[in-house]
Amino acid sequence: MDEKTKSEELIQGLMQELRRGTLMISVLSQLKKPQYGYSLVTVLADRGVDIDAGTLYPLLRRLEKQGLLASQWDTDEARPRKYYLLSELGKDVYDRLCTEWKKMTNIMEGLIDGSGEE
């Protein structure tokens, strides 16, 4: 294996870990209005976040179980769909996560831009 493919592989693995951490915030950010699973996949994809349905659907269930999301089946349409929406707890947690996230990006920017400085 040459150096290039090795670094490619490493970067892929590390990126996957980074993305995993941001996925939850991405999902919460789009659920101020009710969405069903697949509409969320499309909305996120439009905004540049690629997420498999196979990852998103279980994640939505987990977030619901943690009390961050509320869900409801809509059976009026031809195809029954489960709609998810931020709960009160979810809103609060999301707002605070955003603050934390901004803090973190500030720190990271400081680190990255300041790298190499004495």
Q: Report the nearest approach of another protein to the CB of residue 99 (Å).
A: 27
Nearer to another protein, 7 or 22 (CB): 22
Residues that bind another protein (CB under 8 A): 36-38, 42, 52-55, 57-58, 61-62, 65, 73, 79-82
70 torsion bin: left (phi>0), alpha (psi -120 to 50), beta (else): beta
Q: Mapping DSSP to helix (H, G, I), strand (E, B) and coil, where does residue 63 land?
A: helix
Nearer to another protein, 63 or 93 (CB): 63
Nearer to another protein, 78 or 111 (CB): 78
Contact 71, 85 (CB under 8 A): yes
Q: Report the nearest approach of another protein to the CB of residue 98 (Å).
A: 25
What is the C-alpha separation between 42 and 61, in angstroms, rounded? 18
Q: Report the nearest approach of another protein to the CB of residue 17 (Å).
A: 16
Contact 79, 66 (CB under 8 A): no
